[in-house]
Structure 1
Amino acid sequence: MTSAPTDLAAQLDRQDPLAGFRERFVGAGDPLVYFDGNSLGRPLRATGPRLQRFVDEEWGGRLIRGWDEGWMDLPHRIGDDLGRICLGAAAGQTVVGDSTTVLLYKMMRAAVAARPGRTEIVIDRDNFPTDRYVAAGIAEELGLTLRWIEVDTTEGVTAELLAEAVGPATALVVVSHVAYRSAWLADLPELVRITHDAGALILADLCHSAGSVPLALDAWDVDIAVGCSYKYLNGGPGAPAFVYVASRLIDELTQPIRGWIGNDDPFLMGPSYTPAPGIRRFLSGTPPILGMLAVRDMLELLEEASIDAVRDKSVALTQYAIDLTDEVLAPAGAVLASPREADRRGGHVTVNHPAMREVTARLWAQDVIPDYRDPGGLRLGLSPLSTSFGEVERGVEIVRATLDALTA
């Protein structure tokens, strides 16, 4: 590369209003290039001491009294904060608990039960595997049909494709707000309108958008949304997922996994189950308190930075990655597999080349950490608060050198 892009990266970092947040993440100043923040976000420096204090003071000091002193309400408090800061959701509609897979099952199952007589679940073939697998399992369980939307793997579900797929038999539409492979940013308000016009419910997977792309779930009239907290919400490996249910649907939906925490009076231990009022009815088991603490730290940081500013940085980072792809990687035969339009692109960029699987393995050995997605896709996940423009440039240069070494 010439010196101009290096100068440009330094200039972009100097002009970045969020640059100061980077030092708050463990390892963000190291030479390692981290292109996988959309799979597992870096931990915050504040999280280690907070966890230690929790062990010493709350868990170790208060013991079981902690449930009465705040732990029981933590899934709701964090859910409300998440709704306010990231999701565009009023209080009482978001709660944290269970894994993404479990919540997807519970909410898909509840949604189709709320549309009796309808026999189809609409989902695209390039949706995240878990979403497809769960939908297929529910279809087999209930004798329903999956109506597949065929999509371009460099794009995602468009309004036109969805309009062709839905109809009077549609019970539920399942769509990812940001496609995991291409970063296609769906026009979720329009997809909601099309779904509702067909008389169906829609479930939005927010795993690749929550904490990176501003959302307005209430204003968009979204029915149900599920997302994880270990990507852009930096909750750590296996951190619990969250579910949003529009207030107008909370009393209508019946979740299928009845556990003690979702009962009206969890400590009554009575002979029968009565769903709790409000969003708590969608919980099942004991809340994973430790797994929520890092999420709380990141939400505080996101509120300080503002989700709109985070989105602006994300757009700038991904545009810079695209510019570098055109200049540095395209001459080696690589092809952009993500949208060029910022309003159709989430927080990552995918670049295709037949050698990218082997390139990825070699990059990991050089402390450059992207991930790989078939067919031939190197995915650059750029977490806005912990990634610099210089890091993006350095990583792309090493990708090119590795690609050249493999294909020479």
Structure 2
Amino acid sequence: MTDSLDTRLLDRARALDAADPLHAHLDAFADAPGVTAYLDGNSLGRPLRDTPEKLAAFVREDWGTRLIRSWDEQWMALPMELGDRIGRVALGAAAGQTVVADSTSVLIYKLMRAALGAESSRTELVIEAGNFPTDRFLAEGVAAETGMTLRWLEPDPVRGVTVDDVAAVVSERTALVSLSHVDYRSGALADMPAITDAVHAAGALMMWDLCHSAGVVPMQLDEWGVDMAVGCTYKYLNGGPGSPAFAYLRRDLQGVLRQPIQGWWSAADIFAMGPEYVPADDIRQLLSGTPPVTSMLAMQGMLDLIEQSSIAQIRAKSVSLTDLAVEAYDDVLAPLGVRLLSPRDADLRGGHVTIGHPDFRAVTQRLWADGIIPDFRFPDGIRLGLSPLSTSHVETVTGVLAIRDALRA
């Protein structure tokens, strides 16, 4: 019975791969010897096959040959140019509103502080109690610095934050609402346009954490009136470990909000070396120190692939992968007492599926030793992070079957 079920699931996966218009892109990613299924692309994306040569060429040529001249020739504009590319291919953002710099944490801090200094009569910062630790820790710190009151949302842990949850707490006291577009635990996909509208109806600013949605879920930041957003580039944008984050700031807020880390790169005249700080009035105002040029290289090839594929096709494959993971869960994991911790409806789910079982910490260790790489999340969850351009349907089913076998071991 088990063999026939496994065969049916794998045959279905092979058929989906054969029909997948993005299947050829799998060859663009570097092989990982000993890894049978990589299911952690929502934590760290795989490198592209040509990344080593591109990094070597950068050392030989842009840095090694052009030396400091490369700052004038290309590097000075790179944070803004790369931000524009991310905005165009992944965010639905027109040029001049997105910049690449710093870490996610630093950019969230900058925008939170800028937002909370915008209107002195507003005294509350709203954030979800189960949001990613960085977001919560920063909110606590910024509230302490500014004298703001924190309002904690406590939504259903699988369904995630809804517009009704937000509408119930925002008021004339709300300065900023900060939420994740895709929940890092359950993968729940928030209704960005409706929630943003509800926040604006209360006269507050809206900030979105896009770490688990940029590059896998289509969005229209401009059309939906989003005020500000931050996202990382090492997940679905495959920028490599510690690659810099990006920040979006709506054009009409530039030169109005003022970020707190006033480094020389955000000065109106960067080389004036003047006696006092005068901020730039465009997106460059979000920079602080010298940008990490080397760390901006790897993501550029992935942005090429996303643009060639289109974010709409990537989302379609993401839905196909996660639907198949849920189907395989129903067939082989639910009977073993494994819980589904993600929304079953693909319209309410981002790019990963989370499942839970008390034995999953030990199971994850066994899987890693066998070349099956999912992601464990405390206390007892495994996330199946299915990055559409680098993950096949067969790989997805292989991973789920391996979880079943490890549970039975």
TM-score, normalized by length of structure 2? 0.97
Q: What corresponds to 2:163 in structure 1? A: 159
Q: Counterparts of 2:223 and 2:335 in 1: how far apart (Å)?
A: 44
Question: Is residue 2:26 matched to residue 1:26?
Answer: no
Q: What corresponds to 2:265 in structure 1? A: 261
Q: What corresponds to 1:120 in structure 2? A: 124
Deviations 1:314-340 (A, max 9, x none): 000000000000001001000110011
Q: What corresponds to 2:304 in structure 1? A: 300
Question: Is residue 2:18 matched to residue 1:17?
Answer: no
Correspondence for 1:309 among 310, 313, 317: 313
CA contact (8 A) 1:22 1:28 kept: no
Q: Counterparts of 1:325 and 1:355 in 2: how far apart (Å)?
A: 16
Q: What is the aligned-residue RMSD (CA, Å)?
A: 1.0
**Deviation for aligned residue 1:30:** 6.3
Correspondence for 2:376 among 372, 386, 392: 372
Correspondence for 2:336 among 325, 332, 350: 332
**Deviation for aligned residue 1:90:** 0.3
Question: Is residue 2:140 matched to residue 1:136?
Answer: yes
Question: Is residue 2:82 matched to residue 1:75?
Answer: no
Q: Counterparts of 2:167 and 2:379 in 1: how far apart (Å)?
A: 27
1:61 is paired with a residue of what secondary structure?
A: coil
Q: What corresponds to 2:8 in structure 1? A: 4
Correspondence for 1:49 among 45, 50, 53: 53
One-letter amino acid matched to 1:192: T
**Deviation for aligned residue 1:249:** 0.7
Deviations 1:107-160 (A, max 9, x none): 000001012121110001111110000000011111111100012221211011
Q: Counterparts of 1:149 and 1:349 in 2: how far apart (Å)?
A: 23
Q: Counterparts of 2:50 and 2:310 in 1: how far apart (Å)?
A: 19
Q: Counterparts of 1:207 and 1:116 in 2: how far apart (Å)?
A: 30
Q: Counterparts of 1:346 and 1:18 in 2: how far apart (Å)?
A: 18
Q: Counterparts of 2:281 and 2:169 in 1: how far apart (Å)?
A: 35
Structure 2, unaligned runs of 5 or more: none
One-letter amino acid matched to 2:68: I
One-letter amino acid matched to 2:176: L
One-letter amino acid matched to 2:190: A
Q: Counterparts of 2:37 and 2:384 in 1: how far apart (Å)?
A: 10
Q: Counterparts of 1:226 and 1:192 in 2: how far apart (Å)?
A: 15
Q: Counterparts of 2:357 and 2:34 in 1: how far apart (Å)?
A: 28
Q: Counterparts of 1:354 and 1:66 in 2: how far apart (Å)?
A: 53
1:62 is paired with a residue of what secondary structure?
A: coil
One-letter amino acid matched to 2:240: G
Q: Counterparts of 2:37 and 2:118 in 1: how far apart (Å)?
A: 47
Q: Counterparts of 2:150 and 2:159 in 1: how far apart (Å)?
A: 21
Question: Is residue 2:123 matched to residue 1:147?
Answer: no
Question: Is residue 2:236 matched to residue 1:229?
Answer: no
Q: What corresponds to 1:188 in structure 2? A: 192
Q: What corresponds to 1:219 in structure 2? A: 223
Structure 1, unaligned runs of 5 or more: none
Deviations 1:233-262 (A, max 9, x none): 000000000000011111211000000111
One-letter amino acid matched to 2:137: Y
CA contact (8 A) 1:23 1:29 kept: no
Q: Counterparts of 2:338 and 2:325 in 1: how far apart (Å)?
A: 13
Q: What corresponds to 1:397 in structure 2? A: 401
Question: Is residue 2:69 matched to residue 1:58?
Answer: no
**Deviation for aligned residue 1:386:** 0.4
CA contact (8 A) 1:115 1:200 kept: no
1:27 is paired with a residue of what secondary structure?
A: coil
Correspondence for 2:101 among 75, 97, 101: 97
**Deviation for aligned residue 1:31:** 4.5
Correspondence for 1:245 among 233, 240, 249: 249
Q: What corresponds to 1:111 in structure 2? A: 115
CA contact (8 A) 2:180 2:210 kept: yes
Q: What corresponds to 1:197 in structure 2? A: 201
Q: Counterparts of 2:306 and 2:323 in 1: how far apart (Å)?
A: 22
Q: Provide runs of 4+ in structure 1 moved above 6 Å.
A: none
Q: How many corresponding residue pairs?
A: 405
**Deviation for aligned residue 1:223:** 0.2
